[in-house]
Amino acid sequence: MSDVENKPQAAEATKTAPKAGTTAGGGDGRILDQTEIDSLLGFDGDDGKGSRTGIMELINSALVNYERLPMLDIVFDRLVRLLSTSLRNLTSDNVEISLDHISSVRFGDYLNSIPLPAMLSIFTAEEWDDHGLMVIDSALIYAIVDVLLGGRRGSSALRVEGRPYTTIETKLIERMVHVILNDMSSAFDPISPVSFRLDRIETNPRFATITQSGNAGVLVRLRIDMGDRSGRVEIMIPYATLEPIRHLLQQMFMGEKFGRDAIWEPHLTSELYLTDVHLSAILGETTVSLNDLINWQPGSVVMLNTRPRDLIEMRVGNTAMFMAKIGQKQDQIAVSIEEYIEPVPVEET
């Protein structure tokens, strides 16, 4: 009976032995199907919208979440308001701008995902001494060109794909880029004054590399609607560019002072000025042996190295504050402060 029971087990072992995915060694082997492998590697099949697990979570652990920089939401909300007015003045048309979303991406991944054709504007943050990238998709390019050249309202722009952008189209888009950069400078002004300046415009992503492909950055997607015409503007700012003002972007609200109280500070200052301080006048100091100190009696004379006209030291605790001249006024001993003693910095050990 035992021989009959062992035959199915041997057959099952023969089937599973050649397959990939079994564990090596003397333990029990187990086959991982494709779903379990995808789950282990973090590919959940939800286009990246779900939670990442496994190895992908470890790979992306160094990716800083933009939610750790709360002031960025306020900055780009301010940019949307400023840009709505500026583009209306530029196009003389009804322009609606909406902030799609702000996310953190790696620069290399974003560069590979840019839909072509597009115009890639590299700009410089002069005060931060670094660069950023602005991408304008083809739909918005043709829409802006059509509007600026007097296209009819209510009609969509004519797109001619498969050809490079002309000089006129590039110059017209360059005007819009200057407007966006000026408004973005104004949006950052309440936090830190910065001037964004257009460096160049490229159409090939290979020539728009402003940082290492593995470096992370903030990606801001704006949607611009002009009647039946619409398009997108994407702004990519590497975290290295934002590093000089990172401590300001971590504030929860504009002008956060991290615990400072404008009412408590003057009150505490006024109360400190009313504090009593014990001031000592040091007439002189000398060093004696313990044997002499024990033998002192009433009437013993201690010789000091201070003459009547010498300046004496005034101390608060152990800190020397003033040099003063000793005298007498109204039958009381008095001192006249002659000079202030600079505090001696404590040497670091």
pLDDT at 309: 82
Q: Of 218, 229, 219, 252, whose CA–CA distance to 154 is shortest?
A: 229
* pLDDT higher than 70, residue 112: yes
- Domains, the chain, ordered by start: 32-62 (no CATH), 66-249 (3.40.1550.10), 276-293+305-340 (2.30.330.10)
Of residues 255 and 249, more confidence is placed in 249
Of residues 324 and 58, more confidence is placed in 324
Q: For 109-126, what is the mean pLDDT?
A: 89
Q: For 277-301, what is the mean pLDDT?
A: 88
* pLDDT higher than 70, residue 256: no
Strands 319-329, 332-340: pairing is antiparallel
* pLDDT higher than 90, residue 236: yes
224-235 pLDDT, tens digit per residue, is 998 788 889 999
The strand ranges marked E within 128-228 are 130-137, 196-202, 216-226
Phi, psi of 244 (to 5 degrees): -60, -25
Q: For 53-65, what is the mean pLDDT?
A: 56
Is pTM, for the whole model, over 0.85?
A: no
What's the whole-number average pLDDT of the chain? 79
Of residues 46 and 320, more confidence is placed in 320
Tokens of 172: 């017209």
312-324 pLDDT, tens digit per residue, is 888 888 888 888 9
Question: Cα torsion at 45, 47, 49, 53 (round to 10°)?
Answer: 50
Q: For 255-268, what is the mean pLDDT?
A: 70
